[in-house]
Amino acid sequence: MELQAMKLFCDLQEEGLQQVKEVTQERVYPKGATVFVGGQEADGLYIVQSGRVKVLMLYPDGREKTLAIVREGETLGEVTLYGSELRSATVETLETTRFLVIPREHIRSLLLAMPVLSVRLIELLSQRLRRANRQIEELTFHNSRSRVICGLICLAEEHGCAAGQQTQILFPLTHAELAKLVAVSRETVTKVLGELQEKDLIQMVRGRIKINRVAELKQEIV
């Protein structure tokens, strides 16, 4: 993905894009790699140029909660630009992922020099906050079955390819990974996915999930 196609930089003119390019580093991580861990000192702002990663919390007792799955064009590490200098979560790659990294000491000067960049970053943070609020609402008001369905719909909206009534989630997802995303047990995920397949609302082929009729799937939420 080119720099000017990314959400954070899409409003910049050529001069501004050149300033960003001059301080940007490129890093590539293989599938299954840890990019950074919670509690680690932040070194800068990461932008996913290609690939996908998951953002997660790791707990001392071994439990893991996936907070989000992030695709190309999205940013990581905004909350460390001001305030705390420590990473708040861990990031792992779901596939080979290429990042553009703006070192911490440069991103602040860029934001001060280009107000349009600051406005865009605020918009991205607002979107992240709305996503977090939606997760809180689902955890508070929906039962386990509905949380699985909400998770599928969210993945379809953010990482899906639509063709008519069907939407294909563009990367494989195990039952355990989906369970960590929606905060239910793996057994619950397996049961719910089986029920949805019996109703012909979804298809599963080699770990890839296709939603046959999104509108009908939404009606399953209680």
Tens digit of pLDDT for each residue in 167-192?
A: 999 888 899 999 999 999 999 999 99
Rounded Cα distance, 34 and 128, in Å: 21
**Nearest CA-CA partner of 168 in 198, 202, 211:** 211
Backbone angles phi, psi at 186, to 5 degrees: -60, -35
Cα of 192 vs its chain's centroid, Å: 23
Provide the pLDDT for residue 83.
61
Rounded Cα distance, 49 and 70, in Å: 11
Tally of CA atoms within 13 A in the half-sphere of 146 that contains its CB = 13
**Predicted TM-score (pTM) of this structure:** 0.83
- Percent of the chain, pLDDT > 70? 97
pLDDT mean over 76-87 = 75
Q: Does domain 3-139 have CATH number 3.50.50.60?
A: no
Q: Is the pLDDT of residue 79 over 90?
A: no
Q: Does 3-139 match 143-218 in CATH topology?
A: no
Q: What is the CATH number of domain 143-218?
A: 1.10.10.10
Rounded Cα distance, 208 and 185, in Å: 19
Answer for the pair 193, 175: CB distance below 8 angstroms, yes or no.
yes
Q: Is the pLDDT of residue 15 over 80?
A: yes
Q: Is the pLDDT of residue 100 over 80?
A: yes
List the chain domain ranges.
3-139, 143-218
Provide the pLDDT for residue 80.
66
Provide the pLDDT for residue 186.
95
